[in-house]
Structure 1
Amino acid sequence: MTTTPNKLRIDIVSDVVCPWCIIGYRQLEQALAETATPYELHWQPFELNPDMPAEGQNLREHLAEKYGSTKEQSDANRNHITAVGAELGFEFCFTDDMRMHNTFNVHQLLHWADQQGRKQDLKQAFFAAHFTHGRNLSDDEVLADVAAEIGLARDEALAVLKDQRFANAVRTAEKFWIDAGIRGVPAMIFNQRHLVTGAQGTENYKQILQQLAEEAN
């Protein structure tokens, strides 16, 4: 892993079915703009649900099983996430039939998009596909559609998913971050040294960026 001189390297370990990953990213993005920080961003793969079956699972059922969340707690959490997202210009549209998905194929397409310099665009498109439009990320046809909508080759996207050509590369990257101690996302690593976990808020990110700039000087 290399870093461009005079640019802050930011690795974000995340999954596209994690609401706090898009929230944390939007907060960091604001902080980077407000501090005029030169940076280069690298999205890194993490699966929240590597054992999720192909058909996925109802989101409420999943959260109840995983965290013991009641419907009232789930509703309150959804309302909070929706409000925070709205402040950052991201629309969350939670529904009763929303599902949690296995995202291994998503990460393979992101790896493919990275080779074309389009990983950032596809990552944002997948966040919106899942949280705003409620699309089925367990369906390879849907994943290829999302890729095509940002101008990538749909047929090639399907071929990537069919032959799983980047499966080993994604598994290797996932293992690297798990071996580095990452257990939850978002996890942001600045200059390959400073780990910040969770969505910290724009003001906190600005303080972090200012501290890093002072260190660099």
Structure 2
Amino acid sequence: MTTLKIDIVSDIACPWCAIGYARLSRAMEELEGEMDFDIEWHAFELNPDKSGQGQPIIEALSQKYGRSPEEMEAAQADMIRIATELGLNFGKMQERYTHNTFDGHRLVKWAGEQGRQTDMKMALFDAYFGHAENIADHDVLIRCVESTGLDGNDAREVLESGQYGEAVREDETRWQNAGVSAVPAFILNGKYMIPGAQEPDTLVQALRKVAAA
């Protein structure tokens, strides 16, 4: 059976990244028995600034895109509807604050060495969009780790020691140099990029096409 390598460049703070993976999951379910998948997550920071306590998300998005808070709330409500239909918890999406995700990305790298990378990513998505938690806070990150069945004490050691920081920076640089400027981005077999959160049917067609190449 063909195994397709899928590198996913994303940020924990990106709602379309969570939606994009949920759609990819549906596509992979449809292709079960037809091909296998090797998934690897890669870091991207929408908000690389580590200073401050964060900003209310609606306010931050209004300033970033030059749109009214009402317009941003409507756009967010549309994403909540899409996410809910996919089984994601986006219950507190509009209550969240902007937060840096660098330490979360370090833990995703660490979890990957233990075969729990996707579990870690999903836990972080749930904490941020489902519970509006501060995903820069180490206690929040440790709770996410423990929810995956990994050891919280080991994770705290990673966070306090700065481990995987260089790996995250190298990851970010590599994919930016490869042309990834927005997320999510799905790179198939290291050659073909699918940008954005495409619909499951579109992904099924793309995966089949690449697998047959």
TM over 0.5: yes
Q: Are the equivalent residues in 2 in contact too, given 1:56–1:138 (CA < 8 A)? A: no
- Aligned-residue sequence identity (percent) comes to 39
CA distance in 2, matches of 1:20, 1:114: 22
Match of 1:31 in 2: 27
Structure 2 matches for 1:87-166, cutoff 5 A?
Answer: 87-94=85-92, 97-166=95-164
CA distance in 1, matches of 2:3, 2:95: 43
- Alignment size in residue pairs: 211
Q: Are the equivalent residues in 2 in contact too, given 1:113–1:122 (CA < 8 A)? A: yes
Q: Are the equivalent residues in 1 in contact too, given 2:2–2:211 (CA < 8 A)? A: no
Match of 1:182 in 2: 180
CA distance in 2, matches of 1:96, 1:33: 30
Match of 2:40 in 1: 42
Paired amino acid for 2:21: Y
Gaps of 5+ in 2: none
Select which of 189, 199, 202 maps to 2:200.
202
Paired amino acid for 1:19: P
> Partner of 1:110: helix, strand, or coil?
helix
Question: How much does 1:116 deviate?
Answer: 1.0
> Partner of 1:132: helix, strand, or coil?
helix
> Partner of 1:22: helix, strand, or coil?
helix
Select which of 55, 58, 65 maps to 1:57.
55
Moved runs in structure 1, 4+ residues, more than 6 A?
A: none
Select which of 13, 16, 20 maps to 2:16.
20
Question: How much does 1:208 deviate?
Answer: 0.9
CA-to-aligned-CA distance 1:101-135 (integer Å, 9 cap, x gap): 10000001111111111111111110101101111
RMSD (Å) for aligned C-alpha atoms = 1.5
Match of 1:191 in 2: 189
Of the structure 1 ranges 120-129 and 35-44, higher mean CA displacement relative to structure 2 is found in 35-44
Q: Are the equivalent residues in 2 in contact too, given 1:135–1:142 (CA < 8 A)? A: yes
TM-score (norm 1): 0.92
TM-score (norm 2): 0.94
CA distance in 2, matches of 1:109, 1:143: 8
CA distance in 1, matches of 2:36, 2:148: 25
CA-to-aligned-CA distance 1:120-173 (integer Å, 9 cap, x gap): 111111010110111111211111111112221111211111110211111111
Q: 2:6 matched to 1:10?
A: yes
Paired amino acid for 1:35: L
